[in-house]
Amino acid sequence: MKIVIVTGSSRGLGASTALECAKRGIGVVVTYNRNPEKADDVVKAIAGIGGKAVALKLDVGNSRSFSEFREAVSAQLKALWDRETFDFLVNNAGYGLYAPISDVTEEQFDGLFNVHLKGPFFLTQALLPLIESGGHIINVTSATSRVATAGVAPYAAFKGGLQVLTRYMAKEFAERRIRANSIAPGAIRTELGGGLNVEFEAMLGGQTALGRVGEPEEVGGVIASLLSEENRWINAQNIEVAGGYVI
């Protein structure tokens, strides 16, 4: 059985990705930061469809915790799957902040940087010895790194940096045949940044060619599909999953 770690998978895109992977027969390591109950719900949902999963605590914004997380992963890989390695890493964990550049504090800037760029960099570094050769890393970025949207500058800048980092991962990990791609969602119905109200959703839908915002499973399904052998020749790409956002 292939195994995936999906960071930030107690809700939203991460939870949908975890479920979609489980539907395809992949074992899942779910991670959460503040909500173990939600993570347990995802594990139970995966068990309900015949899959196997475990939930582990992970604060992607605290790189000092990554060695401890790696040890927890190793223990669970052995206990649940009798393996020492896993196959796929989905760097998904994140949060939103809406504020113009003139109002962003250094603390807010650092928090977004730690979760959206520094975290994926050093978490991938920490877990790399456990990733099976021939594996795959997917970094979840954002269409806001292509379309300038007032109020999300730091978030978008770090997501753009993560897209660049993805290409470097593909280049440097190629010796071990580990692929790296990024997925850039557009407007999706999640709790990120406080969620969508009726007016905001209507505005975003009007900027999307298909006339609506996306659902979490529409992104999760693409991520799970990209992990499959059928897509083994896709590498070092940023794939926008946005229904035609601002085209």
Are 16 and 38 spatial neighbours (Cβ–Cβ below 8 Å)? no
Q: Which two tokens stand for residue 82?
A: 């009798």
Are 40 and 58 spatial neighbours (Cβ–Cβ below 8 Å)? no
Distance CA 142, CA 144 (A): 5
The catalytically annotated residue of 32, 95, 98, 155 is 155
Are 224 and 203 spatial neighbours (Cβ–Cβ below 8 Å)? no
Type of residue at 181: N
Query: Taking Cα atoms as reference points, which of 172, 56, 169, 71 lies closest to residue 120?
Result: 169
Using alpha carbons only, what angle is made at residue 78 by residues 75 and 84, rounded to the nearest 5 degrees? 95
- E strand or H helix that includes residue 205: helix 198-206
Please enumerate in sequence order all residues whose Cβ is within 8 A of that of 230, keeping only pairs 6 or more positions apart, or say none: none
Distances from the Cα of 150 to the Cα of 8, 53, 102, 107, 138, angstroms: 25, 39, 11, 19, 27
Residue 234 in 3-state DSSP?
A: coil
State yes or no: is 245 an active-site residue.
no
- Residues annotated catalytic, as ranges: 155
